[in-house]
Amino acid sequence: MGRLKKRFQQKIVASSLTEVIVATSILLVVFAIALLTLNNLMVSTLQTDTQKLDTEIEILIYKYQNNQLKTPSSIQEGSSIIDVQRINKEDIDFVEFSIKDENSNKTKSKKIIAISNEE
């Protein structure tokens, strides 16, 4: 037992309460800045993400090219308003596909050359 007392009775240098509070405050500030930065990145990514709208437009183009979709047409699916219009510019017929998502207030449109076999 005497050996254990000699081995573990070495004095440990302790930090003062002020040093602990300062170190904790610095850590909190660093983590707060990191969290705010990550939050800002996530919000900006969600605001600029149009992948869902791009996918919907590609589906509409596929349906149009396979004569499953007629022009002009306007469809409302959930919070999205889908418009398919035939446009004539300089003697060339185009079909414009546009989608507006009312929840996120995003709009995406795409034009392709019209298929001539449509009635």
Span 18-74, pLDDT tens digits: 999 999 999 999 999 999 999 999 998 887 888 888 898 999 999 988 888 888 888
More confident residue, 76 or 26: 26
Tell me, what's the pLDDT at 40? 96
pLDDT over threshold 60, residue 118: no
* Cα separation, 60 vs 96, whole angstroms: 10
Tell me, what's the pLDDT at 119? 47
Cβ-based neighbours of 82, under 8 Å, separated by 6 or more: 56, 60, 73, 74, 75, 76, 97, 98, 99
Predicted TM-score (pTM) of the model is 0.60
pLDDT over threshold 50, residue 2: yes
53: closest CA among 107, 103, 94, 95?
A: 107
Domains of the chain by residue range: 13-48, 51-113
